[in-house]
Structure formats: structure tokens, C-alpha cells
Chains A and B, each alone.
Chain A
Amino acid sequence: MEQTVTVFSGFSAQDLLFLGEAALRTLWISLLSIAIGSLLGGIFGWILYETKYWGGILVNPLLDMFRSVPLIVQLVLFYNFAPIVGLNLDAFESGLVVLTMYTAALVANVARGGIESVGRSMRIASRSLGMSYWQDMRYVVFPIGTRAIFPSWVGVALGVMKDSALVSVLGYVELVKASQVLITRTQEPLLIILVVGAFYFVLSYPVSRYSAKLERRWSQ
């Protein structure tokens, strides 16, 4: 039987490269949104902790919204409505904005818990040494609080990395989007999903390992 030209061709080394690049995009958009989102989340957490009133009526409902509306809905809504207010963002930028706010909303509560974990009596002790409010924050509350919330924060970060897959709906070619393209062409969904799974594992495993190591060091 003659070999015919097929639309479908097998999984090749080039495809692996294609997935590798997509993995880098997943990593890039995750890293950026985790970094910026954590920073914002820290600030929101501080507002929640420090200003019971404004935090309660302004910040909390806003964060609740980001936490409770499914990410995929947020992405589609933002991508389609941003141009109306004059923001012309591409898929990556839209995804970044939404993922960042989502991360910030999750981190805010974690961060507030971190500040709360440093008891009143510890705060009074550092103020009694003559530290200012900000010195107490910087040298006592921050290091103690971050250690306390570190495991939850790692959980949020790994979650965001996985959730970044949803940016694929906007056409940003990260791992999941890339896999869809390849699956359509090669018709080898199982193999490709395995490879994609492996990529996610490679991205997140070092993070969990390293964080476990840090935790062990801090608890010694």
C-alpha cells in the first residue's frame, strides 16, 4: 500500500521544542503574575489588617469578587471589555492583568494572616525597644509573618501556575494551548498530554522541593 500524504503527522522533536517554548510562556506569565500579584496582595493584606473599616467595605468586596468569579470568566470578560475603556491589550497582557489580580486577591488574605500571626505582645516588645512602626514591620513582622505563611503562599503560587492554563482561551500559546494545537494535528492526545503533564511537573517540582527545604531550615 502506498504511503499517502496525510494531514495528520506524528509527534516530532520539533513539536517537543514547540511545547518547550510554550512551557517557557507558562513560566513567564506565571512568574510575572505571582511576583506582581504577591506584592499587591501584600499591600492589600496590610490594608485589610490595618484599616478594619475601609478594608472591610472597599478592599474586601473587591478581592472577594476576584476570588469568587471563575478565572475563565474574568479572562473572557476582561479581554472583551478592556478595549471599551480604551485599553488595547493583547492576549498575554490581558492574561497577565487578570492573573495578577487573581493572585493578589488570594495572597491578600494569606498576608493578613501573616501579620496577624505576629502577636500583639511581640509587636509591643519591638516597639518598646524604640523601633518605629515601619521598623517593626520591616525587621520583625515581615520576616516572622512570611515564614508563617510561606507554605500557603507556595500553594497559591503553584495554583496560579496551573491556572495560567486558562489564559489559553484568549489564544496565548502557553502549554495547554500548544497541546491543543498539537493534538489536533497529530491525533495523539495521550502522548501529548503526558508530555504536557511532565512539563508542568518540571516547572513546579523544583518550587515545592526548594520551599520544603526552606521550611525545614526555618523550623530547625
Chain B
Amino acid sequence: MIKVNGLHKYFDDLHVLRGIDLEVQKGEVLSVIGASGSGKSTLLYCINGIEQIQEGSVYVDDVDVHSKATDLNKLRQRLGMVFQQWNSFPHLTALENVALAPQIVRGLTKAEAKDIAIKQLEHVGLGDKFDVYPNALSGGQQQRLAIARALAMDPQYMLFDEATSALDPELVGEVLDTMRVLAEEGMTMICVTHEMGFARDVSDRVAYFHEGVVEEIGSPDQIFVDPESEHTKKFLAKVR
């Protein structure tokens, strides 16, 4: 379970997160929607400890992410993350991209890491691209490669930060399909997304972010059909 309590985050004087309370249960898919600049990415970075926080707490399976005693490198193996930019390692083949972290971080042998990489590449539909370098892959394929790379660490949670926003429209579908498969397999996911269709169909709950607070959270029906907050209504009217 991911548990965020009274979280405040500043960049110098900029108060970006203004008291976030959030719980994500095992197996749950939470979509986070909201205007650009409302702090969605920052929240994900606070959850995996990339960014420090100034107030409140974040727990991942009872590990206090922002405690000095926490081994962040170890914690992050439990939290797969996929970004807007796919960030493939350009000097490595698809297979090596996926096998690298299992080998050096999880300490698996080369053969074990390779087996995992093969499995995960097949999982995301890149079973025919093992020896291809990223620059010969489309954006959609590179984003699926990034998903496979994260999955190879055997994470308990997946954090997606606008995974499809940088893609050409015709490539969005294949990445969303991959995310859908993960959700069906029971992966716990937090998806920051602008894909309202996806948020509606796949999520268990949807959180609407407004200026650093969770303005409204509820089932997809509640948020999309019957939102309470004026801000939510305005935002949804704009993105439709």
C-alpha cells in the first residue's frame, strides 16, 4: 500500500504540493488528472524519493520513504516508474536495456537477467526486437521498452507519468494497451494521464489535482459523470 499523509513540497518559495493525503491499495489503479503545473509529476517523484519533501510523510509498504534510514535504491526496486520521455539507454540493445538493472541492481547473473529481459520484452510485445538499438524503434516501442525495463525489476507498484503525452497520436494506443494489460494482471498503478478514456475505463479511482491539492477523488463515474467541484467540472469541460 502507498500512503501519503499531509505532504507538502516546496521548490524554494514555490509551494507545489499543499497537503496531499492519498492511499493506494494493493491491486488498485489510480489515475491522476489535472492541469499542467498542478504538481502531479512532483507527487510521483516524492513517492519514489527522487524529490525531498518538507512536511508530511510517504509510506510504501510501511517503509518511510523520506526517513534518513531508508535505502532508496532498494525501495525504488519496488516502484517501477515510466516517464513522458522514454529515456531508453541509446548505447544498449533492447535486451540490454532491460537486462542492465536486474544484473547490476538486483545482482542477478547475466543469464538470469537475460531470461527476465526476454520475458518482459515479450510481455510488452517486443519479442522480435531483442537486438535492436532504441534509435531504430518507434516512440511507442521505446515507451513499451521503458515499461519492460521497469517491470524487469519485479516491482510491486508502477508509477506512470504521462507515459503517452510525448507520443504521436497513432502510437498512443499500443502503450495504453500495454498499461491496460498490466492493470488486468493486477498490478498496482498510479497513472498520471491526460487520456480521459483510459482513466475512465481502466482506473478503480480517479484523483483530480488542482494547484497542489487533491481537489476531488472518487470512482471514474463519480469524477467523470457527477463531479462535485467546480474546478473539476471546468477542467473536464476543457479536456473533452
Contact A122-B87, Cβ < 8 Å, known A129-B105, A139-B104: yes
The contact of A131 among B90, B105, B133, B146, by CB within 8 Å, is: B105
Contacts of A139 in B (CB 8 A): 100, 104
B50 to chain A, nearest CB (A): 6
Q: Is B149 an interface residue (CB 8 A)?
A: yes
Asked if B20 is at the interface of the complex by the 8 Å CB criterion, the answer is: no
- Taking the nearest CB of chain B, how far is it from the CB of A135, in angstroms? 6
A: number of interface residues (CB 8 Å): 20
CB distance A130 to B101 under 8 Å? yes
Closest to A132 in B: B73
Given A128-B79, A220-B133: A135 in contact with B104 (beta carbons within 8 A) = yes
Residue from A125, A129, A132, A144 whose CB has the most chain B CB atoms within 10 Å: A129
Q: How large is the interface on B (under 10, 10 to 19, 20 to 34, 35 or more residues)?
A: 20 to 34
Evaluate contact between B73 and A147: CB separation under 8 angstroms: no
Asked if B198 is at the interface (CB within 8 A of a chain A CB), the reply is no
Interface residue A121 (Cβ < 8 Å from any Cβ of B):
yes
**Chain B hits for A218, CB < 8 A:** 91
Number of A-B contacts (CB under 8 A): 58
Q: Is A140 an interface residue (CB 8 A)?
A: yes
Establish whether residues B90 and A135, one from each chain, have CB atoms under 8 Å apart when the complex forms.
no
Q: Does any Cβ of A come within 8 Å of B31's Cβ?
A: no
Q: When chains A and B are docked, how far (Å) is the Cα of A130 from the Cα of B101?
A: 8
> Contact at B50–A129, with CB atoms within 8 Å?
no
Contacts of B74 in A (CB 8 A): 130
Where the two chains meet, the residues of B that have a C-beta atom closer than 8 Å to any C-beta of A are 45, 48, 50, 73-74, 76-77, 79-81, 83, 85, 87, 89-91, 100-101, 104-106, 133, 146, 149-150, 153
A contacts, CB < 8 Å to B: 119, 121-122, 124-132, 135, 139-140, 143-144, 147, 218, 220
- List 24 interface pairs A-B (beta carbons < 8 Å), by A numbering: A119-B85, A121-B85, A121-B87, A122-B87, A124-B50, A124-B83, A125-B83, A127-B50, A128-B50, A128-B76, A128-B79, A128-B80, A128-B81, A129-B105, A130-B73, A130-B76, A130-B105, A130-B106, A131-B105, A135-B104, A140-B89, A144-B91, A147-B91, A220-B133
Q: Please name 12 further chain A to chain B contacts, defined as beta carbons within 8 Å, in addition to the given A128-B79, A128-B80, sorted by A numbering.
A: A121-B85, A124-B45, A125-B83, A125-B87, A127-B73, A127-B76, A128-B76, A131-B73, A143-B91, A144-B89, A144-B90, A144-B91
